[in-house]
């Protein structure tokens, strides 16, 4: 993989991790367009590094909220921060269970399945369109809604379904305040990303990679910087009820992907 390709893929990952257009789907489409021929070990290492970079950008943006959560837990008191952390953990369960049980089947879906990506992008577009038309309320995330949002995150493991799009749309359709929905969506994925990284490291597949350092560093920097921008931009867009534009984008790109695959 060249340095330019790494930067392009890093920017795509950073933007699409937060914007509701499916980072996994766009990475698969970009690799197909760029003619990426990376070995499985190299592809895995690069994907892990990009996801770590976007997780780091999330931590930077929400450093105050994360610090408050840890402070509340360390004080061993049942307060708002402790309650929020429990909801985050609850939301992680569906995706964690699916990821462990169906790991091999899921990985098989990430091998240039352009037709599947296109179909799932259209599904994402329809979901965003419905969420954009929902009325805004001041509801908070409850335990039951946290579990439902977690289920939508588990479904979004499929390439082409936007994780942020699915979780934010589910939250909004459940009547949760739009800004709270966006913040919860971005915070809930950080533990999962770090957990997936730990799993891949322990399994040893990454250690076999012979990928050069420069593309990894450039890709990570591109993902981190673009992630910082996209995260803040997305929160603003959700508050302004502008998800319909991403809905149209997903419908168009999904249709093109299906036509190309036929």
Write down the residue that tokens 């603003």 correspond to: 236
Q: Where are the alpha helices (DSSP H) in 102-239?
A: 103-108, 114-132, 143-155, 163-173, 178-203, 213-239
Q: How confident is the model at residue 39 (pLDDT cuts 50, 70, 90)?
A: very low
The answer to whether 260 touches 121, Cβ cutoff 8 Å, is: no
Among 67-81, 84-98, 244-258, the minimum mean pLDDT is found in: 67-81
Q: How confident is the model at residue 11 (pLDDT cuts 50, 70, 90)?
A: very high
Q: How confident is the model at residue 44 (pLDDT cuts 50, 70, 90)?
A: low
- Better-scored residue on pLDDT, 13 or 211: 13
Q: How confident is the model at residue 53 (pLDDT cuts 50, 70, 90)?
A: very high
Distance CA 171, CA 149 (A): 6
Among 35-39, 162-166, 193-197, 238-242, the minimum mean pLDDT is found in: 35-39
Give the pLDDT confidence of 146-184 residue by residue, as tens digits: 999 999 989 888 888 888 889 989 998 998 888 888 888
- Better-scored residue on pLDDT, 112 or 41: 112
Structure token digits, residue 212: 């050069």
Write down the residue that tokens 């070995």 correspond to: 39
Percent of the chain with pLDDT over 70: 87
Distance CA 166, CA 6 (A): 27
Residue 207 has pLDDT above 80, yes or no: no
Distance CA 254, CA 119 (A): 6
The answer to whether 212 touches 39, Cβ cutoff 8 Å, is: no
Averaged pLDDT for residues 23-46: 68
CB atoms within 10 A of CB 51: 23
The answer to whether 187 touches 66, Cβ cutoff 8 Å, is: yes
Return the pLDDT at 152. Answer: 92
Distance CA 227, CA 248 (A): 22
Distance CA 238, CA 131 (A): 10
Q: How confident is the model at residue 40 (pLDDT cuts 50, 70, 90)?
A: very low
- Better-scored residue on pLDDT, 27 or 56: 56
Residue 206 has pLDDT above 70, yes or no: no
Mean pLDDT taken over the chain: 82
């Amino acid at each position: 993989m060249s340095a330019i390709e790494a930067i392009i893929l890093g920017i795509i990952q950073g933007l699409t991790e937060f914007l509701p257009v499916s980072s996994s789907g766009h990475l698969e489409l970009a690799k197909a367009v760029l003619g990426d021929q990376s070995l499985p070990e190299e592809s895995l290492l690069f994907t892990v590094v990009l996801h770590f970079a976007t997780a780091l950008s999330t931590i930077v943006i929400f450093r105050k909220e994360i610090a408050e959560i840890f402070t509340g837990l360390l004080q061993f008191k049942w307060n708002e921060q402790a309650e929020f952390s429990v909801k985050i953990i609850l939301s992680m369960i569906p995706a964690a269970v699916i990821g462990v049980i169906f790991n091999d089947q899921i990985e098989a879906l990430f091998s240039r399945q352009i037709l599947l990506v296109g179909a799932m992008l259209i599904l994402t577009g329809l979901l965003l369109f419905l969420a954009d038309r929902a009325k805004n309320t001041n509801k908070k995330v409850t335990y039951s809604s946290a579990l439902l949002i977690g289920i939508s995150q588990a479904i979004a493991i499929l390439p082409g379904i936007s994780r942020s799009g699915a979780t934010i749309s589910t939250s909004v359709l459940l009547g949760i305040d739009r800004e709270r929905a966006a913040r919860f969506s971005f915070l809930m994925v950080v533990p999962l990303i770090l957990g997936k990284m730990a799993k891949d490291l322990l399994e040893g597949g990454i250690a076999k990679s012979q990928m050069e350092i420069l593309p990894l560093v450039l890709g990570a920097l591109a993902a981190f910087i673009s992630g910082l921008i996209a995260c803040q931009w997305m929160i603003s867009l959700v508050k302004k009820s502008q998800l319909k534009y991403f809905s149209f984008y997903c419908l168009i790109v999904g249709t093109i992907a299906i036509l190309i695959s036929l």
